[in-house]
Each structure stands twice: as C-alpha cells, then as structure tokens.
Structure 1
Amino acid sequence: MSSTKVIYALYNDDDVLMDAVKQTRKAHHHIEEVFTPFPVHGLDKAMGLAPTRLAICAFIYGCIGISVATWMMWNIMINDWPQDIGGKPSFSYLQNMPAFVPVMFEMTVFFAAHLMVITFYMRSRLWPFKKAENPDVRTTDDHFLMEVSVSGDEEAMIAFFKNTGAVEVKVIEKH
C-alpha cells in the first residue's frame, strides 16, 4: 500500500480561507479537500469544482413522480374501480384532472425530495455507520482545513501556506 504526504493548513476565518484557496490554485498546488464548519459561499468555484448535476436529477425524479401519480390515479380511479364521488364522471381522466392536481404535485415533490436525498448520500459516499473522515475536530466548530497534496519542496510549501494566513500547518503521511 503506497502512502503519500499531504499538508493540513488550518485557518480560523472563511475570508482568509477563500484567499488561500485562490493563491493555492494560482500556485498550481492540488487541493484534495476543504473541511469547513458551515457552507462557504463561492468555495466550490474558487476550488475549480465542476457545477453539480443534482438539479438535473431533481427534474428527472420529479418527472418520475408525476408519471407515477398520473398512472396511479388513472389506474385506481378510472380503470380499476371507478366511483361516483360528488357527482363527478368517472369514465375520463381529463374530466377529473382538476381534482387530481394536488396529488400529482405532492407525488412530484415526494419523489424528487426522497430520491434526491438517496442520490446525494450515494454520490457523497455517506453510508450508514461510515467512519468519519474529518481530519481535525476543530473543523466542526470554528476552523477551516485545506488538505493539499505535497508535490516538490515540502519546506517551501509549508512556508507558502503560512504566508496565506494559516494558523497551523502540518504534514501528514496518508495511507
């Protein structure tokens, strides 16, 4: 099993972190991950991450939800067991459509929301009982950690990250 060295640069301000990420990218160092106690607006763009495609998944899941709702209501209320409810005709789906709109909306939201959560967990590899990968517990409270692969002169990289405003810089052997 090969091991590589990474630098953990710890910051105590999100604005300093954003500047450090931009400087690190400009210096062509590879940022493995950034750990933050709260979402930092614009960090994904500063890191150069590709835009998320979760919105496309949400649209597809919503389409699946409205399709299931439409099929379910037609099958239950028109085809399988038509009933006279409030004098409404039960032989046509289109004539009953206004009564079905709330169910179609709720099923669209239900499918989109639940399948999005499942997709997010699978994409993020967040399985039940998974061991936490957080390298420093302070990142859950008030600090920000940038994990960068060591390439080239290790001492020069440590000095670089101290100059970016890091309050602590550590070199770790990662397996």
Structure 2
Amino acid sequence: MSNVKYILGHFEDPDEMMHGIDKLQENNIGIYDVYTPMPIHGIEEKLGYKRSRLPIAAFCFGITGTLTAISMIYYMLVYDWPMNIGGKPSLAMPDFVPITFELTILFAAYGMMFTFFYANHLFPGRAPRVMDLRATNDRFVIAIDAKTNPYPDKIENLLKEAGAVEVMHNERKYVSYE
C-alpha cells in the first residue's frame, strides 16, 4: 500500500457522488479532487473551493488595454505628430472612444484566455492532466490522497456505502493518453 498515491471512487450518478462527498466529510476524510464529465452546480461550495479570481484578472487586463489605447492616442496625436484639423483639439477624446473600447476588450479577452490556460495547465502541446480517463466520459470520480488518509479500508467501505461502483488504488498521479 506504500506506493498507492490515490484512492479513486467511481460513481455512475452525480447524486450518489455528492452523497459520497458528504459521507467522507462527515468522517473527516480529506478529498483531493473530484472529476466529473459535466459541470455540477454547488460542488465548489461543498468542497470548500474559493471563488475564482479570473474576474479580477479580467479587470486588470481591461484597464491595461484602456491605458494602452489612451497612451498610444496621446503619443501619436499630441506628442509625436500634432495636427490641426478644422481647429479641433489634438486630443478629442469622444472621437477615440471606439478605439479605446476595442483595445480594452482585446486585452481583457486575450489576458483571460492566457490566465485560464496558465491556471488549469492547458498549454498547447501539453498532455491533459486526467486522474482516470473514464472521468471524461461517463464516470464521476472522487480522488482521495492515500498518504494523508491512513485508513484505506475505511475509505473504501465509505465509498461503497455511498454507492461507488468501483474503488481503485491509483499508483500514478495522472494517466497519460499515450
């Protein structure tokens, strides 16, 4: 049992999996992660995950885009090449709202995309990190760290009582597609 890293409980029904999470938490057993083939509402609160900071990152990227647009407009039209067109001021901001808006959206969208890829390890060319391949298809998997939870028989019994179809002892951290 010393080389086992994770205990995986496989469920066919999301309600049974949620019941399994409740049973494990009642017995003070730490859950490493839960893998599902579809989003399940309310699972983040049940597992104690904090709210995503992606909106904060989007705001920062948007402000960066706004400041970049205003800086470029100021540099190009006021500092570098001021032109007098019909007696209008060099920096007529209402004329440049569309440009500023577009750069704000562009920076926010690309910044959020790269932040999401970085946070979830979804870089192009990298193999996905999957605990069990069936979790991407038709199974709901609860992964429990075997090193921090020293009672594998108790965990296995709790998972089976909650409705687990299969309980596996995983020796590797992630399964590769090769």
Aligned residue identity for 1:100: F
**Are positions 1:89 and 2:88 aligned together?**
yes
Residue of structure 1 equivalent to 2:176: none
Letter of the 2:45 partner, please give it: K
Tell me which residue corresponds to 2:113.
117
Distance in 2 separating the partners of 1:22 and 1:78? 63
Deviation at 1:130, TM superposition (A): 1.7
Deviations 1:141-175 (A, max 9, x none): 22211111232322221110011121111122236
Question: CA contact under 8 A between 2:4 and 2:169: conserved in structure 1?
Answer: no
Distance 1:98 1:19 in 2: 57
TM-score (norm: length of structure 2) = 0.84
Aligned to 1:166: 164
Note the aligned Cα RMSD (angstroms): 2.1
Partner of 2:132: 136
2: CA distance between counterparts of 1:45 and 1:159?
A: 25
Q: Contact 1:77/1:90 (CA < 8 Å) preserved in 2?
A: no
Alignment of 1:94-105 (within 5 A): 96-105=92-101
Could you list the runs of 5+ residues in structure 1 that have no partner in the other structure?
none
Please report how far the alpha carbon of residue 36 of structure 1 lies from its aligned counterpart in structure 2 after TM superposition: 1.3
Q: Distance in 1 between matches of 2:88 and 2:4?
A: 71
How far the C-alpha of 1:52 sits from its partner, in A, is 1.7
Q: TM-score, normalised by structure 1?
A: 0.85
Instruction: Work out whether residues 11 and 145 of structure 1, in 8 Å CA contact, stay in contact via their aligned partners in 2.
Output: yes
Change (3 A) 1:169 1:4: closer
Q: Which moved further from structure 2: 10-19 or 161-170? A: 10-19
C-alpha distance 173-77 of structure 1, shift in aligned 2 (>3 A): same
Distance in 1 (alpha carbons) for counterparts of 2:14 and 2:66: 41
Contact residue 23 and residue 158 of structure 2 kept, 8 A:
no
**AA at the equivalent of 2:55:** A
Query: In 2, distance between residues paired with 1:88 and 1:29?
Result: 74
CA contact (8 A) 1:9 1:169 kept: yes
The count of corresponding residues between Structure 1 and Structure 2 is: 170
Q: Which structure 2 residue ranges, 5 or more long, are not aligned?
A: 174-178
What does 1:5-44 correspond to in 2, within 5 Å? 5-44=5-44
Query: 1:88 offset after TM fit, Å?
Result: 6.8
